[in-house]
Chain A
Amino acid sequence: MRGSRVALEMLKEQGVRVVFGIPGGAVLPLYDDLYDVGLRHVLCRHEQGAAHMADGFARVLKRPGVCIATSGPGATNLITGVATAYMDSSPMVAITGQVATSVMGNDAFQEVDAFGLMMPVVKHNWRIESANEIPRVFREAFHVATHGRTAPVHIDFPVDAQRDEVDEAKIKQKFVPRKQTKRDLSNVLDAIKFIEEAEAPVVMVGGGARWSQAGTDILRLAEMIQAPVVTTLMGKGAVPEDHPLVLGPVGMHGKMVATYVLNNCDTIVALGTRFSDRSTGKLSEFGKQQRIVHVDIDSSEVGKNVSNVVGLVGDVYTVVHALIAGLENRALRKRTAWTERVAGLKKECACDFNLSGHPILPQKIVWELNRLLPDDAILTTEVGRNQMWAEHFFDVRQNRIFMTSGGLGTMGFGFPAAMGAKVAAPERFVIDLAGDGSFQMTMKELATARENGINVAVLVMNDNALGMVLQWQRMFYGERYSAVHFGPMPDFVKIAEAYGCEGVRVAKDGDLEDAIVRAQSAETPFVIDAMIDPKEDMLPIMPPGRSAKEIILGPRCIWKGGATVESPVPARP
């Protein structure tokens, strides 16, 4: 069998049924064999879209998404999507064609050092040197992507290796992984001691908990130790947000109650989070008065951003179970004062954001989505204020999924990721909450969606501007607006129609319901162009580089600074 065929057989062996990509000269053998092997191929309009689709697919199924690009420009176009997945620990196998090994290094046509370019944004990558390496490399690629911290991997695949024959013996050869993932639970007794001694514990949940699918187990732990649960942006949705102990996201645009409780507790049990500055605020001021138990699958994360922690290395699911087992037979203290206080604070933060206005207020859009989306809907976001409205207000209850580019913050992620999610879960309603700027980055994939019957919805929060940047220029740069206002906007309804999709413009908030309901039964991809108030700032905000004490609340926030409910817990010295 020739190399290209073997590669595709390897994908099938790994359970892959669908790949996203664009062909080109250096992947012609691969695409030739794709004709025969019975893999579904989604032809994208830009390789970035292919990578985001594979990523969105992976975030739903927790299995690697696969994307394919040709050499040179195909590979460079793919990089943004691969880096996006890398920053959010999303498993992916990215395959790029490469010029033949005989001309490699000669600046041959469409040659680029994809191997070197991808290196910093993948967990590992391989350059196939001869066809006989194909079975091992592909098997290893999937193993590396899915074991330990999940991540994208990359295979640079020269066209001659695709054409050459592979020895039968190499295909049959059993794959032995090179590296075993290590756990280190040697500190578990210290962790249990911290948790036992805590008077005011908090469980902080990051993206790792989602990859580990440990939501139920985390809630069990939280209930056991009577600790409220806060999430990071990436952890949002790891635990259902309608649970009474769940306070919502912390950080730059998080819920006041969550950020407050995180910063005023005495013990943090951090599960699968890297303590990103977006979650903690100024790092040097974070966690000063707390004892911290840090659980992460990646040992290099423990102590990286926040030091003086009790570290436990392992996946969240396993470690949470170890903690539960360790705590189970102990007489745990009642933390009634703490839980009552937190419940009181939660009420202090529960504002009504069913706000009417003309133009439409963005809060209202999320309010309508909360009400109208089914309990298993998938909501993706772009980057900017749209993302932060969704983080702050969208209610990830029951089986809903919230998906966003948290680490890299890639505008243009949401729409193709929604498509990938829809391919992974065709029976679910998938909607991208977009900004007008972000949507324009990848809206060409409407063609892909239409062509492949991937009927997702996009709700564009249209403020005729790069809203988030505009807000920062207003708040932090003395209202000197530089390159944030768009001129005449393309007509997104006509754009949708031009691609054979349905589109509707919504100028009044009373019409939102109708549009969102229509989107759910549409026979094509569906674009809602909602005209929102560009003057409505995304608040509260913890300004960049500042701590939780310096949060700007804004006129609509009802938070009273946590003072309304008295603290029974003295801060630990």
Chain B
Amino acid sequence: MKVLSLLVHDDWGVMQRIMGVFTRKRISVDTIIAGPCERQGCARVILASKHPSFPKMLEHVRRVHDVIEAEFIENNAEAFALLRGASGRRSVAGPAQEVDDAVEKEDGAAYVKAYAAL
């Protein structure tokens, strides 16, 4: 799993532009986190993907006019997962591997998971 961190202008259509890059190149993005950040008028978008061509996409994403910074973040990915199983709802957060393992153990529970890194 590679994690790509983007700092973007929070303008109309920015997600559509970013995702358009991946759609066109037939690269599936596994998880997406987008949200406000410390810079006014900007946002951070964190994409994670296992696709073999994902690491080659840096320059393509940097080309998007709304993208201010783009970089891959190695080795410190965190994850968040929300699970709903027989025993109710719970969330797990922490290092990506730990969350992956926790989700793995929850057999059959509904869940959603996303990766982030800074």
Q: Is A260 an interface residue (CB 8 A)?
A: no
Q: Is A509 an interface residue (CB 8 A)?
A: no
Q: In the complex, what distance in Å separates the CA atom of A269 from the CA atom of B24?
A: 29
Q: In the complex, what distance in Å separates the CA atom of A300 from the CA atom of B61?
A: 9
Q: In the complex, what distance in Å separates the CA atom of A116 from the CA atom of B12?
A: 10
Task: Tell me whether B20 and A179 are in contact (CB under 8 A).
Answer: no
Q: Is B113 an interface residue (CB 8 A)?
A: no
Q: In the complex, what distance in Å separates the CA atom of A227 from the CA atom of B32?
A: 49
Q: Is B101 an interface residue (CB 8 A)?
A: no
Q: Is A124 an interface residue (CB 8 A)?
A: yes
Task: Tell me whether B65 and A299 are in contact (CB under 8 A).
Answer: no
Question: A93-123 toward B: CB 8 Å interface, digit per residue (1/0)?
Answer: 0000000000000000000000110011001
Contact of B63 among A116, A298, A303 (CB under 8 A): A298
Task: Tell me whether B65 and A144 are in contact (CB under 8 A).
Answer: yes
Closest A residue by C-beta to B20: A120
Closest B residue by C-beta to A116: B16
Closest B residue by C-beta to A122: B65
Please report the total number of A residues contacting B with Cβ < 8 Å.
17
Contact of A300 among B9, B20, B24, B60 (CB under 8 A): B60
Closest B residue by C-beta to A153: B65
Q: Is A494 an interface residue (CB 8 A)?
A: no
Min C-beta distance of B111 to chain A, whole Å:
32
Question: B5-17 toward A: CB 8 Å interface, digit per residue (1/0)?
Answer: 0000100110011
Task: Tell me whether B12 and A127 are in contact (CB under 8 A).
Answer: yes
Task: Tell me whether A299 and B59 are in contact (CB under 8 A).
Answer: yes
Q: Is A174 an interface residue (CB 8 A)?
A: no
A119-B17, A120-B20, A120-B24 known; A178 vs B9 contact (CB < 8 Å): yes
Closest A residue by C-beta to B12: A127
Q: In the complex, what distance in Å separates the CA atom of A123 from the CA atom of B68?
A: 15
List, in ascending order, chain A residues with CB within 8 A of B62's CB. Answer: 299-300
Closest A residue by C-beta to B66: A124
Contact of A115 among B9, B12, B59, B63 (CB under 8 A): B12
Q: Name, among B17, B65, B68, the residue most crowded by chain A CB atoms within 10 Å (CB to CB).
A: B65
Within 8 A of A (CB), among B12-54: 12-13, 16-17, 20, 24
Min C-beta distance of B53 to chain A, whole Å:
11
Q: In the complex, what distance in Å separates the CA atom of A114 from the CA atom of B64?
A: 18
Q: Is A302 an interface residue (CB 8 A)?
A: yes
List, in ascending order, chain A residues with CB within 8 A of B60's CB. Answer: 300
Task: Tell me whether A119 and B65 are in contact (CB under 8 A).
Answer: no
Task: Tell me whether B20 and A119 are in contact (CB under 8 A).
Answer: yes
Q: In the complex, what distance in Å separates the CA atom of A374 from the CA atom of B106?
A: 78
Task: Tell me whether B20 and A178 are in contact (CB under 8 A).
Answer: no
List, in ascending order, chain A residues with CB within 8 A of B63's CB. Answer: 298-300
Within 8 A of A (CB), among B85-103: none
Closest A residue by C-beta to B60: A300
Contact of A302 among B9, B59, B66 (CB under 8 A): B59
Q: In the complex, what distance in Å separates the CA atom of A144 from the CA atom of B9?
A: 15
Within 8 A of B (CB), among A296-327: 298-300, 302-303
Question: A478-517 toward B: CB 8 Å interface, digit per residue (1/0)?
Answer: 0000000000000000000000000000000000000000
Q: In the complex, what distance in Å separates the CA atom of A263 from the CA atom of B13?
A: 43
Task: Tell me whether B65 and A178 are in contact (CB under 8 A).
Answer: yes
List, in ascending order, chain B residues with CB within 8 A of A127's CB. Answer: 12-13
Min C-beta distance of A266 to chain B, whole Å:
27
Min C-beta distance of A161 to chain B, whole Å:
14
List, in ascending order, chain B residues with CB within 8 A of A124's CB. Answer: 65-66
Task: Tell me whether A115 and B65 are in contact (CB under 8 A).
Answer: no
Min C-beta distance of B40 to chain A, whole Å:
14
Min C-beta distance of B52 to chain A, whole Å:
14
Task: Tell me whether B16 and A119 are in contact (CB under 8 A).
Answer: yes
Min C-beta distance of A347 to chain B, whole Å:
42
Closest A residue by C-beta to B67: A179
List, in ascending order, chain B residues with CB within 8 A of A115's CB. Answer: 12-13
Closest B residue by C-beta to A140: B65
Q: In the complex, what distance in Å separates the CA atom of A393 from the CA atom of B20?
A: 39
A115-B13, A116-B16, A178-B9 known; A123 vs B65 contact (CB < 8 Å): yes
28 cross-chain CB contacts under 8 A: A115-B12, A115-B13, A116-B13, A116-B16, A119-B13, A119-B16, A119-B17, A119-B20, A120-B24, A123-B65, A124-B65, A124-B66, A125-B13, A127-B12, A127-B13, A144-B65, A178-B65, A179-B68, A298-B63, A299-B59, A299-B62, A299-B63, A300-B59, A300-B60, A300-B62, A300-B63, A302-B59, A303-B56
- Sample of 4 further A-B pairs with CB below 8 A, known A119-B13, A120-B20: A124-B66, A127-B12, A129-B12, A299-B63
